[in-house]
Amino acid sequence: MSTRSAVAKAPEFEPSTIEEFLAWEDDRWAEWVDGKVIRMAPVTLGHQEIVNFLLTLLRLYIEEHDLGIVSTTAPYAMHLPARQRVREPDLLFVSKQRMDRLKDLYLDGAADLVVEVVSPDSRRRDRVEKVVDYEAEGVREYWVIDPRRRQVELRRLGADGRFRLIEPVEGIFTSESVPGFRLRIDWLWRQPPPKILDAARELGLV
Protein backbone atom coordinates (compact mmCIF):
# COMPACT_ATOMS: atom_id res chain seq x y z
CA MET A 1 0.00 0.00 0.00
CA SER A 2 1.38 3.39 -0.97
CA THR A 3 1.46 6.34 1.36
CA ARG A 4 1.58 10.04 0.66
CA SER A 5 3.56 12.51 2.70
CA ALA A 6 1.64 15.71 3.27
CA VAL A 7 3.51 18.97 3.31
CA ALA A 8 2.08 21.30 5.91
CA LYS A 9 1.07 24.63 4.46
CA ALA A 10 2.27 27.59 6.42
CA PRO A 11 -0.63 29.65 7.78
CA GLU A 12 -1.22 32.88 5.92
CA PHE A 13 -0.06 35.93 7.84
CA GLU A 14 -2.87 38.12 9.15
CA PRO A 15 -2.09 41.36 11.02
CA SER A 16 -3.18 41.41 14.64
CA THR A 17 -2.44 45.08 15.40
CA ILE A 18 -2.90 48.32 13.51
CA GLU A 19 0.90 48.73 13.39
CA GLU A 20 1.24 45.33 11.70
CA PHE A 21 -1.54 46.24 9.28
CA LEU A 22 0.17 49.50 8.28
CA ALA A 23 3.42 47.63 7.63
CA TRP A 24 1.66 44.77 5.77
CA GLU A 25 2.88 44.57 2.20
CA ASP A 26 -0.11 42.82 0.66
CA ASP A 27 -1.77 43.53 -2.68
CA ARG A 28 -5.29 42.71 -1.57
CA TRP A 29 -7.83 45.43 -0.88
CA ALA A 30 -8.54 45.49 2.85
CA GLU A 31 -9.26 47.89 5.71
CA TRP A 32 -8.60 47.82 9.46
CA VAL A 33 -11.75 48.42 11.51
CA ASP A 34 -12.30 47.75 15.22
CA GLY A 35 -9.17 45.65 15.51
CA LYS A 36 -9.90 43.40 12.54
CA VAL A 37 -8.92 43.05 8.89
CA ILE A 38 -11.95 43.71 6.66
CA ARG A 39 -11.48 42.48 3.09
CA MET A 40 -13.24 44.35 0.31
CA ALA A 41 -15.31 42.64 -2.39
CA PRO A 42 -14.31 42.93 -6.08
CA VAL A 43 -15.83 45.90 -7.92
CA THR A 44 -17.66 46.12 -11.24
CA LEU A 45 -16.50 47.55 -14.55
CA GLY A 46 -18.97 50.45 -14.14
CA HIS A 47 -17.48 51.24 -10.73
CA GLN A 48 -13.98 51.36 -12.19
CA GLU A 49 -15.09 53.50 -15.15
CA ILE A 50 -16.28 56.21 -12.74
CA VAL A 51 -13.11 56.01 -10.63
CA ASN A 52 -10.87 56.14 -13.70
CA PHE A 53 -12.79 59.05 -15.21
CA LEU A 54 -12.52 61.11 -12.02
CA LEU A 55 -8.90 60.15 -11.46
CA THR A 56 -7.88 61.23 -14.95
CA LEU A 57 -9.90 64.47 -14.91
CA LEU A 58 -8.66 65.44 -11.44
CA ARG A 59 -5.06 64.55 -12.27
CA LEU A 60 -5.16 66.68 -15.41
CA TYR A 61 -6.42 69.67 -13.43
CA ILE A 62 -4.23 69.16 -10.35
CA GLU A 63 -1.04 68.75 -12.35
CA GLU A 64 -1.91 71.76 -14.51
CA HIS A 65 -2.24 73.93 -11.39
CA ASP A 66 0.42 72.21 -9.25
CA LEU A 67 -1.96 71.58 -6.34
CA GLY A 68 -0.71 68.24 -4.97
CA ILE A 69 -1.33 64.62 -5.92
CA VAL A 70 -4.42 62.55 -6.68
CA SER A 71 -4.46 58.79 -6.55
CA THR A 72 -6.57 55.69 -6.49
CA THR A 73 -5.41 54.24 -3.21
CA ALA A 74 -6.08 50.51 -3.00
CA PRO A 75 -3.92 48.94 -1.78
CA TYR A 76 -2.46 52.28 -0.56
CA ALA A 77 -4.13 52.98 2.76
CA MET A 78 -5.22 56.06 4.72
CA HIS A 79 -4.45 55.84 8.44
CA LEU A 80 -7.03 57.56 10.65
CA PRO A 81 -5.25 57.88 14.01
CA ALA A 82 -8.08 59.50 15.96
CA ARG A 83 -10.42 56.62 15.02
CA GLN A 84 -7.70 53.95 15.12
CA ARG A 85 -8.85 52.75 11.72
CA VAL A 86 -7.32 52.30 8.27
CA ARG A 87 -9.45 52.94 5.20
CA GLU A 88 -8.70 52.44 1.51
CA PRO A 89 -10.85 54.90 -0.45
CA ASP A 90 -11.48 54.58 -4.16
CA LEU A 91 -9.74 57.89 -4.76
CA LEU A 92 -8.05 60.59 -2.71
CA PHE A 93 -6.40 63.97 -3.19
CA VAL A 94 -3.59 65.28 -0.99
CA SER A 95 -2.74 68.97 -1.25
CA LYS A 96 0.83 70.25 -1.14
CA GLN A 97 0.18 71.44 2.43
CA ARG A 98 -0.48 67.85 3.59
CA MET A 99 2.12 65.97 1.56
CA ASP A 100 4.27 65.39 4.64
CA ARG A 101 1.63 62.78 5.57
CA LEU A 102 2.58 60.57 2.62
CA LYS A 103 4.46 57.43 3.70
CA ASP A 104 5.67 54.54 1.54
CA LEU A 105 2.75 52.26 2.42
CA TYR A 106 0.05 54.63 3.68
CA LEU A 107 -1.16 58.19 4.15
CA ASP A 108 -0.70 59.07 7.83
CA GLY A 109 -3.77 61.21 8.44
CA ALA A 110 -6.63 62.66 6.44
CA ALA A 111 -6.55 63.44 2.74
CA ASP A 112 -8.07 66.74 1.60
CA LEU A 113 -10.59 64.96 -0.65
CA VAL A 114 -11.88 61.39 -0.44
CA VAL A 115 -14.14 59.79 -3.04
CA GLU A 116 -16.03 56.52 -2.54
CA VAL A 117 -18.05 54.85 -5.30
CA VAL A 118 -20.79 52.75 -3.70
CA SER A 119 -20.88 49.00 -4.34
CA PRO A 120 -23.74 46.69 -3.31
CA ASP A 121 -21.84 45.57 -0.21
CA SER A 122 -20.52 49.01 0.76
CA ARG A 123 -23.65 51.18 0.94
CA ARG A 124 -23.82 51.42 4.74
CA ARG A 125 -20.04 51.56 5.08
CA ASP A 126 -19.70 54.46 2.62
CA ARG A 127 -22.80 56.42 3.62
CA VAL A 128 -22.71 56.00 7.41
CA GLU A 129 -19.51 54.58 8.91
CA LYS A 130 -17.06 56.50 6.75
CA VAL A 131 -18.94 59.78 7.16
CA VAL A 132 -18.17 59.54 10.89
CA ASP A 133 -14.57 58.43 10.32
CA TYR A 134 -13.70 61.10 7.74
CA GLU A 135 -15.43 63.91 9.63
CA ALA A 136 -13.56 63.03 12.84
CA GLU A 137 -10.21 63.00 11.01
CA GLY A 138 -10.69 66.31 9.19
CA VAL A 139 -11.19 65.22 5.58
CA ARG A 140 -12.12 68.52 3.90
CA GLU A 141 -14.50 67.03 1.30
CA TYR A 142 -16.11 63.63 0.99
CA TRP A 143 -17.92 62.59 -2.20
CA VAL A 144 -20.12 59.47 -2.17
CA ILE A 145 -21.17 58.33 -5.65
CA ASP A 146 -23.92 55.73 -6.02
CA PRO A 147 -24.05 54.53 -9.66
CA ARG A 148 -27.05 52.24 -9.19
CA ARG A 149 -29.26 55.04 -7.83
CA ARG A 150 -27.52 57.79 -9.79
CA GLN A 151 -27.07 59.77 -6.62
CA VAL A 152 -24.16 61.84 -5.34
CA GLU A 153 -23.68 63.06 -1.77
CA LEU A 154 -21.15 65.90 -1.57
CA ARG A 155 -20.00 66.79 1.94
CA ARG A 156 -17.76 69.66 2.99
CA LEU A 157 -16.19 70.16 6.42
CA GLY A 158 -17.37 73.34 8.14
CA ALA A 159 -15.48 75.59 10.55
CA ASP A 160 -17.14 73.65 13.39
CA GLY A 161 -15.56 70.39 12.22
CA ARG A 162 -18.87 68.96 10.97
CA PHE A 163 -19.78 67.83 7.48
CA ARG A 164 -22.41 69.74 5.52
CA LEU A 165 -24.18 68.44 2.42
CA ILE A 166 -23.50 70.68 -0.57
CA GLU A 167 -25.94 70.89 -3.49
CA PRO A 168 -24.61 71.32 -7.03
CA VAL A 169 -25.67 74.54 -8.77
CA GLU A 170 -27.39 73.83 -12.08
CA GLY A 171 -25.88 70.36 -12.06
CA ILE A 172 -22.32 71.55 -11.44
CA PHE A 173 -20.36 71.07 -8.22
CA THR A 174 -17.48 73.43 -7.39
CA SER A 175 -14.86 71.98 -5.07
CA GLU A 176 -13.09 73.87 -2.30
CA SER A 177 -10.64 71.11 -1.41
CA VAL A 178 -9.39 71.17 -5.02
CA PRO A 179 -9.59 74.93 -5.60
CA GLY A 180 -11.31 75.87 -8.85
CA PHE A 181 -12.17 72.31 -9.86
CA ARG A 182 -15.71 71.86 -11.17
CA LEU A 183 -17.62 68.67 -11.90
CA ARG A 184 -20.77 68.26 -13.99
CA ILE A 185 -22.65 65.54 -12.12
CA ASP A 186 -24.29 63.92 -15.15
CA TRP A 187 -20.83 63.12 -16.53
CA LEU A 188 -20.75 60.30 -13.98
CA TRP A 189 -23.69 58.47 -15.57
CA ARG A 190 -22.89 58.93 -19.24
CA GLN A 191 -22.23 55.83 -21.32
CA PRO A 192 -19.66 55.90 -22.66
CA PRO A 193 -18.02 58.40 -20.28
CA PRO A 194 -17.13 61.79 -21.81
CA LYS A 195 -13.69 62.19 -23.29
CA ILE A 196 -11.45 63.75 -20.67
CA LEU A 197 -10.24 66.72 -22.70
CA ASP A 198 -13.76 67.48 -23.93
CA ALA A 199 -15.05 67.47 -20.34
CA ALA A 200 -12.16 69.60 -19.09
CA ARG A 201 -12.58 72.17 -21.83
CA GLU A 202 -16.37 72.35 -21.35
CA LEU A 203 -15.90 73.78 -17.84
CA GLY A 204 -12.65 75.61 -18.50
CA LEU A 205 -10.49 73.30 -16.40
CA VAL A 206 -7.65 73.48 -18.92
Domain assignment of residue 69, given as a range? 43-202
Structural domain contains residue 36 = no
Structural domain contains residue 14 = no
What's the average model confidence in pLDDT over 89-100? Answer: 96
> Which CATH number is 145's domain given?
3.90.1570.10
Task: Answer whether residue 4 shows pLDDT above 60.
Answer: no
Task: Answer whether residue 122 shows pLDDT above 60.
Answer: yes
pLDDT digits (tens, 9 = 90+) for 9-65: 545 778 889 999 998 877 678 899 999 998 888 888 899 999 999 999 999 999 999
Q: State the pTM of this model.
A: 0.89
Q: Rounded to the nearest 10 degrees, how much is the dihedral formed by the CA atoms of 15, 17, 22, 25?
A: -20
Q: Which of 104, 103, 90, 92 is nearest to 68 (CA)?
A: 92
What phi and psi, each to the nearest 5 degrees, are found at residue 61? Answer: -70, -45
Structural domain contains residue 31 = no
End-to-end CA distance of the chain: 76
Structural domain contains residue 59 = yes
d(CA 180, CA 88): 26
d(CA 128, CA 7): 46
Q: Which residues contact 131 (CB under 8 A, 6 or more apart)?
A: 142, 155, 163
Residue 94 bridge partners (DSSP) = 69
6 confidence band (pLDDT: 50, 70, 90): very low
Structural domain contains residue 115 = yes
Count structural domains, the chain.
1
